[in-house]
A and B are shown apart, each in its own frame.
Chain A
Amino acid sequence: MERIIFHIDCNKFYASVECLHRPEIRNLPVAVGGSEKSRHGIILTKNEIASKYDLKVGEPLWSARKKCPNLVIIPPNFPLYMRFSKEVRRILTDYTDIIEPFGIDESWIDVSAVAHLYGGAEKLAYIIKERIKAELGITVSVGVSFNKVFAKLGSDYKKPDAVTVITKENFKKIVWPLPANDLLYIGPATYRTLQKHYRYTIGDVANSDLKSLQKWLGKVGIMLHSYANGYDLTPVYKGELLPNIKSISNSTTTPRDLKSFEEVKAVLFVLTESVCRRLREQCFKCSVVKIYLRDKDLATASTQKKLKYPTDITREIFQTACSLFAQNYNFNKPLRSVGIAVTDFSSCDCPVQYDFLIDTKKKMQLEKIDKTVDILKKRYGNFTIQSASLLKTADITNFNPHDDHIIHPVGVLKNKI
């Protein structure tokens, strides 16, 4: 049986949700942007009207205002967007349980088994699109196809508020003339390589010799060849099955540059606390700690350390992060962003054999403290209990990475290469 896969993309998601809630700005150019004071002043998304002014996602707000002086800039309201994302999912679960979210505003669903009940794939796509519009007041574009890659292409092909059907019969006509970088996983670097070899469209990639593609791009070349020819057989993963989490991280750009070890320590502590809380929520221990630094000239560096024993204790991970920092940075330039990631997970129930020199009693005490802090924060909010050392640096540590962190699309390839 041929698969029927939809890719549902909420059009200009943040801006649409904001425009729904503020009828008075619906006919104006609107952008959702971070706070300039906190130096997060970039465009996160914009509405259709603002798009006409050639505004780009990620563009600084000052530059956007230059291009479009009457631009309405709205601060992001992530809890509201999460609510709408869940609402979209609620509607999708009425049709199938095979739903794979891709970021906050996109999902693949597999409706192979149910589409006939609604009069076919295209009709079902329209039903879902119209329901989302009526119930949530936002528009989506739906790509309908026989594999995930073409379904995603379909949802990008015509927007907003549209359905595009790409079948085995018409894909050569619809997909092949598109520029190669429209295909999932062809980024700027890959596209440049392809252009160098005179491969400009998806059709060019599809009709290329497999060996040449492999020579230019390695394994990715083979994969792109199969994507372009519609051979992608990747299943739609059920969201619940996805937690094949490989790393947990948090990073932040601070409202002002960090000039001393004390300041970096304070910011690292807030980030570590959040990362460790998320680690414990997943019932994991980590064996590798990684820090990420970006200086005021936007040069970045990262470094990591393998731990002797897996841990989920905030203090241990924090100390590792601090020692990594101290060993690797000499403050020749102030820092703009700091981040921490933990990887190499094992289950928190997995027994660990320590050597004699480890103070296990102390470890158990620290575990108890973490557990208590987690409960307090969960029940009464993140700022209920805080380290006293943060009071000195409240201007740079007054943020909540645990609840504000946003889910970015996971790499589609993470299980493949």
Chain B
Amino acid sequence: MCKKVYVEVNAKFEKDGNIIPQSIIWEDETVYKIDKITDICVAASLKAGGSGIRYTCLIKGVQTYLFLEKDRWFVEAKK
């Protein structure tokens, strides 16, 4: 099961309007650097409950979905 966890994100706002997340700050303030973004698309998160722009991120070799839902970021976290 997954839960929806809103997180703080450091992001780069590019000249052409793209928003590229750089790192995620977890609830315990640990900073997780995003090594690579492999895909950006609009998608729903059935697991966590929500929808928005989905960034498929590689963090320390693990694939994680990061969603920008309107103006908040969330991840699908394990319960």
Contact = CB atoms under 8 A, between A and B. Distances in A.
Contacts of B50: 20-21, 137
Contacts of A138: 44
Interface in B27-62: 41-51
A137 B47 contact: no
B49 A20 contact: yes
Q: Which of the four size classes fits the interface of chain B?
A: 10 to 19
B48 A137 contact: no
Contacts of B49: 20-23
A20 B44 contact: yes
Nearest to A132: B44
Contacts, number: 32
A136 interface: yes
B51 A135 contact: yes
A23 B47 contact: yes
B44 A134 contact: yes
Interface in A15-33: 20-23
B48 A136 contact: no
Residue in B1, B41, B44, B70 whose Cβ sees the most chain A Cβ within 10 Å: B44
A83 interface: yes
A135 B49 CA distance: 12
Interface string A24-51: 0000000000000000000000000000
Contacts of A87: 51
Contact of A135 (B2, B44, B70): B44
A136 B51 contact: yes
Contacts of B46: 20, 23, 137
B43 A135 contact: yes
Nearest to A25: B49
A133 B1 CA distance: 21
A132 to B, nearest CB: 9
Nearest to A91: B42
B26 to A, nearest CB: 21
Contacts of A20: 44, 46, 49-51
Given A135-B43, A135-B51, 18 more contacts: A20-B44, A20-B46, A20-B51, A21-B49, A22-B49, A23-B2, A23-B49, A83-B70, A87-B51, A134-B44, A135-B41, A135-B44, A136-B44, A136-B51, A137-B44, A137-B46, A137-B50, A137-B51
12 contacts: A20-B50, A21-B49, A23-B46, A23-B49, A133-B44, A134-B43, A134-B44, A135-B44, A137-B44, A137-B46, A137-B50, A137-B51
